[in-house]
Chain A
Amino acid sequence: MKKQKINITIDGIKLAVDEQCSILDAAKKVNIHIPTLCHHEDLCVAGNCRICVVEVEGQRALSASCATPVAEGMVIKTNTAKVRKARKDVAALLVAEHNTQCTTCYRSMNCELQEIAAEYNVDNNTYISLVDPNYTIDRSSWSIEKDDSKCIRCQRCVRTCAELQHVNALTVANKGKEMKISTFLDLPLNEVVCTNCGQCINRCPTGALTERRFYDDLWDAIDDPKKHVVMNTAPSVRVALGEMLGFPVGTRVTGKMVTAMKKIGMDSVLDTDFAADLTIIEEGTELLGRLKKILVEGNKEIKLPMLTSCSPGWIKFIEHMYPNHLGHLSTCKSPQQMFGALAKTYYAEKMGIDPADVVSVAIMPCAAKKFEANRPEMNSSGYQDVDAGLTTRELGYMIRQAGVDFLHLEDSDYDSLMGESTGAGAIFGATGGVMEAALRTVYEVVTGREVPFDNLRIMPVRGTDGIKEASIKLENLLDEWKFLEGVEVKVAVAHGLKNARIIMDQVEAGTSPYHFIEVMACPGGCIGGGGQPIPTNEEIRKKRIEAIYAEDEGMPKRKSHENTEVQKLYKEWLGDVNGHKAHELLHTHYTKRNRY
């Protein structure tokens, strides 16, 4: 059936748009800008902030353009005295209930309310301030800070937590002027089912939700001559950091980022991708081990499908929501935690540094990594393995604070040890990347041949579909792996916890057809993580994903098992893959948590 087109006029421009198109989206098509606050492309319509009002001919009241679908013959005016006055009033009312300490706010210059208030030149004295002078900030969580005095109650965070993540840690409580964004019984964030994914932060239009910042602690460590600061940067940081420092979305700034960190004063700038390669070796071997135990030894204790364990938001989600299925998780630590455990053992030993003086810092696209770094069990080096997890945003601030001219910086290479990486490590940053990296290695281990995909691109696991599936038939295997001959390995990839729930409901029901499943908590994978530059939307995420795959193809090596520093690590220090020392340092266990 042909789609019905609706004819409308906006500001004198005639156009035909699809049925159900909102006035806001129609206006975008003809490059008419309408301000929004509660509206977000990733979320359902709310229509509660009223900043996007427009005039519709024949209607007395103004219409919220985000929530009003077009109708045949509609004549819309977005720029009339009535509209401008209403928007200015709405902005002034929102400002009245907002803590306007903008000069000291973390989101200053990146705040949608600030932008609109400036655009309409709102007078701060039109309405009296309604901010409770006794407000308190919830700093209970390692990952997320909640400051209600800056909240404009647009409920993007609530919709994010419900629609994208199916967690519903946040809710709207009370009504009228008492209405607030709350948790269960308004408990502190560290006591509720929050997964720390930080997706709410990425969608908060103001500074009401932010990550807990640790860069001042890092500056102290840098300034301390006794301390040896080791930084490692996650794969998706290098394709997003540039957005904060003057580059267009999707620019790869790997070399500049390394230079900037050296200029800031880090003692060693290393690559989390190294640990991602290491993860593939450990996790791929674990998967093959599980298959062998089931197929050859008939061990019924072993759980399949095996689930990836790199994403700390996903880990906390499964601990809360499916505590009886933790046996499906790979026991591998995430690359961040593997890196941390090695930084204070292997690295310190090889470099001749007292591990007590090593400060290990991870730059992550993630809010949940902060919680992960502070898990009590993450101390296999004898110290806290990762001293601090900083977000991409925090690194952006540090580079600005240091006065580094990022735009004109020369490139430089990562330091060594633990600075070498492959393209397989790089693609960890995008949904499907861990799976692709694992398949590149596992397939080659059992067959002796490269994966049968053009230029190693395993397309079925790429892209932004919520759940992706693929299967590879294992044939003509090396002798050692003959027990897998003819097995069709079925894999799935899910991103966004909404999709993780679908996958886990299958596992719980015993109907999951897969051997191996990759889950990343954030939409798009780490490139869309809760620590990445704001704003985010599908277009931005796709550009960052493109950049990740370009990074992969620009690498001389694109398979984890070819990483010579990883090979050297096993040979000279760690011993066997999945061996005793590897288990001690690179594997972990999980904690059952309450769902309520």
Chain B
Amino acid sequence: MNQIQPYVRSLADKYGRERECLLPILQEIVATEHVLSQDAMVEVARELNLSAAEVYGTASFYSFLNTEPYGKYVIRVCKSIVAEMKGKKEIVDKLCDILKIKVGETTPNGKFTLLETNDIGWSDQEPSMLINEKPYTYLTPEKIVQIIAEYQANGKSNNHQQIN
């Protein structure tokens, strides 16, 4: 069989096979594989004795459990009302302009996916966004240019921020 099967089995061994073990298993798959593939969902269903539809239904509820492949860097711009008031539109427009994609799309080189997301907990510092799991706040179009340039150049953002 494909290699997803032993992998999912190991996750089920780790987290358990009860219904409530579904989410941690799905989360770990997305953390390592960056996507919840059709095969992975089927294997999870098999291991936990659920229907594939139930696994899909659960996954589709959560924005961070993507069933479509995303780029290497997933940009999620906060779409809370505060963000809207603080200029989210300019941020999104700038991102679309630089990346040449629309919200919901992935760049042809597979590097960036641009999404909007519900409140990420930085409403006091809007506009804000996440790139993968890293938050960026008090955004301006100028900052966006700089941040994206760093990702494009290094493949990674400036490390000192992460260390701090």
Contacts and interface: CB of A to CB of B under 8 A. Distances in A.
Interface of A: 167-175, 182-185, 192-193, 595-596
B50 A173 contact: no
B136 interface: no
Contact of A183 (B41, B50, B53): B53
Given A193-B51, A596-B45, A174 B56 contact: no
Contacts of B67: 185
B60 interface: yes
Nearest to A170: B53
A184 B46 CA distance: 14
B2 to A, nearest CB: 13
Given A185-B38, A185-B67, A596-B42, A173 B51 contact: no
Most chain A CB inside 10 Å of its own CB: which residue of B54, B55, B60: B60
Interface in B37-73: 38, 41-42, 45-46, 50-57, 60-61, 67
Given A169-B51, A182-B53, A596-B51, 15 more contacts: A168-B53, A171-B54, A171-B56, A173-B57, A175-B60, A175-B61, A182-B60, A184-B51, A185-B38, A185-B41, A185-B56, A192-B53, A193-B52, A596-B42, A596-B52
Nearest to B60: A173
Interface of B: 38, 41-42, 45-46, 50-57, 60-61, 67
A168 B61 contact: no
A185 B52 CA distance: 9
A174 B51 contact: no
A172 B61 CA distance: 9
Contacts of A182: 53, 56-57, 60
A169 to B, nearest CB: 6
Given A185-B67, A596-B42, A596-B46, A174 B53 contact: no
Contacts of B54: 168, 171
B56 A173 contact: yes
A355 B55 CA distance: 48
A173 B52 CA distance: 12
Given A596-B42, A596-B45, A596-B46, A184 B52 contact: yes
A501 to B, nearest CB: 11
Nearest to B50: A168
The 3 A-B pairs of least Cβ separation, nearest first, read: A171-B57, A168-B51, A171-B53
A174 B38 contact: no
A193 B67 CA distance: 20
A595 B61 CA distance: 23
A95 to B, nearest CB: 26
Does more than half of chain A's interface fall in helix, strand or loop, or is it mixed?
Answer: loop
A169 B53 contact: yes
Contacts of A192: 52-53
A167 to B, nearest CB: 7
17 contacts: A167-B51, A168-B50, A169-B51, A169-B53, A170-B53, A171-B53, A171-B56, A173-B57, A173-B60, A174-B61, A182-B53, A184-B51, A184-B53, A192-B52, A596-B42, A596-B45, A596-B46
Main secondary structure of the interface of B (DSSP, over half): helix
A182 B56 CA distance: 9
A182 B52 CA distance: 11
A502 to B, nearest CB: 14
B4 to A, nearest CB: 13
B35 to A, nearest CB: 13
Nearest to A185: B56
Contacts of A170: 53
Contacts of B53: 168-171, 182-184, 192-193
A172 B46 CA distance: 19
B56 to A, nearest CB: 5
A184 B51 CA distance: 8
A169 B53 CA distance: 6
- The winner among B42, B50, B53, B56 for most chain A CB atoms within 10 A is B53
A183 B52 CA distance: 9
Contacts of A175: 60-61
A170 B56 CA distance: 10
A193 B45 CA distance: 13
Contacts of A168: 50-51, 53-54
Contacts of B51: 167-169, 171, 184, 193, 596
Nearest to B55: A184
A193 B41 CA distance: 15
A308 to B, nearest CB: 25
A171 B51 CA distance: 9
Contacts of A172: 57, 61
A432 B72 CA distance: 59
A174 B50 CA distance: 18
